[in-house]
Amino acid sequence: MPYAAAMLFRLARPALFALDPERAHRLTIALLKRMPRRELPRAVGPLATRVAGLDFPNPVGLAAGFDKDGEVPDAMLGFGFGFVEVGSITPLPQAGNPKPRLFRLAEDEAVINRMGFNNGGAEAAAARLGARDRRGIVGINVGANKDSPDRISDYARMTEAMAPLASYLTVNISSPNTPGLRALQDEGALRELLDAVLAARGESGPPIFLKVAPDLEPSDIDAISRIAIEHRLGALIVGNTTISRPPLKSKHAGEAGGLSGQPLKDLALQRLRDFRRATGGEIPLVGVGGIATAHDAWQRILAGASLVQLYSAMVYAGPGIARQIVRGMETLMQRDGFASVAEAVGSE
């Protein structure tokens, strides 16, 4: 069944690509909601790995932004992702930016988005996620409302509301599409934010992951790493979309927003290496940005990622990409003579 469904999505690609990208996305979510429930990935397999106290069946996750409202985490786990991150979710429902705000750059295997945290809000998401039977690792990525007078208190509220429902919580301060949000990555603001989030989470809550932008200066990287270690975060997710524009072929190249997919790959890998150096391996890293193949994913592991995530490559390859990458990584791990993912992390 998983293979049939993955194949179906590949066959449906031309039809989906004929639609406006946001309509295609909505249709995909609607189809996924109707899919029968499937087996979750085995908890023990060659790629099983323990990070931040959680047992991941494999290190390949679905990045935030695909399932913003937590509607289809189980369907996506069923495609073989080792974990799924839903969100970003904000306290209040929010419409996001005016459309069009999502662009496929097919010639570049890339996406540009300026969605602006469109989501149905915390209450609806909590009801939906609370109704799951909660097998499988589902992280909840939280954000702040655009018009909030106090963004730090938005993150604290979200932490309180979502902690009981999440395997881990991601504090997302790296979206380029909410004006001023990324200023929370500055040293003083970040300390204050993480103090508030950790207080709201309490002693027994889930691990807190922090998601950063790839557009950071070396001094930012050092400061964020220090603060993350001090606050004993579960992991750093490196990272979000970029506002930079490497050379692109598509006619949409000039659209404002965050760029993801293949053209982000080199920058994301470089940032991962920067964070590995700055953290000295004291905190797990999640490598994200332009991962499309088992080789890309394995390269990220060797460069210091304990886990990886992807989104844009799935737009082009379909959800079968999760199993393809997992299988390929098993082969690469064997080729390189590692007995576990953990042993390979940062060994380049």
Ligand X SMILES: Cc1cc2nc3c(=O)[nH]c(=O)nc-3n(C[C@H](O)[C@H](O)[C@H](O)COP(=O)(O)O)c2cc1C
Which residues are the active-site residues? 175
Q: Which helix (H) or strand (E) holds 172?
A: strand 168-172
Using CB under 6 A, which of the segments 200-208, 246-254, 311-319, 328-336 binds ligand X? 311-319
Residue 140 touches ligand X, criterion: CB under 6 A: no
Phi/psi at 51 (nearest 5 deg)?
-135, 135
Q: How many CA atoms lie within 13 A of 257 on its CB side?
A: 24
Q: Which CB, 162 or 338, lies closer to ligand X?
A: 162
Q: What part of residues 83-102 is at the interface with ligand X (CB under 6 A)?
A: 87-88, 102
Residue 310 touches ligand X, criterion: CB under 6 A: yes
- Applying CB under 6 A, among 57, 80, 261, 346 the residue interacting with ligand X is 261
Pairing, β 258-261 against β 110-113: antiparallel
- Applying CB under 6 A, among 90, 94, 141, 299 the residue interacting with ligand X is 141
Secondary structure of the chain: what % helix, strand, coil (to 5)? 45, 20, 40
Q: Please, what is the minimum distance in Å from the beta carbon of residue 87 to ligand X?
A: 6
Question: How far is residue 181's CA from residue 240's CA, in Å, rounded to a whole number?
Answer: 13
Using CB under 6 A, which of the segments 61-69, 193-201, 319-327, 333-341 binds ligand X? 61-69
Q: Please, what is the minimum distance in Å from the beta carbon of residue 337 to ligand X?
A: 28
Using CB under 6 A, which of the segments 29-37, 182-190, 277-285, 305-313 binds ligand X? 305-313
Residue 260 touches ligand X, criterion: CB under 6 A: yes
The CA distances from residue 305 to 17, 133, 227, 334, 346, in Å, are: 32, 29, 19, 18, 7
164 contacts: CB under 8 Å, gap ≥ 6: 205
Shortest-Cβ-distance residue relative to ligand X: 65
The CA distances from residue 263 to 175, 244, 250, in Å, are: 18, 10, 12
Tell me which residues touch ligand X (CB under 6 A).
63-65, 68, 87-88, 102, 111, 113, 115, 141, 172, 175, 211, 240-241, 260-261, 264, 288-291, 310-313
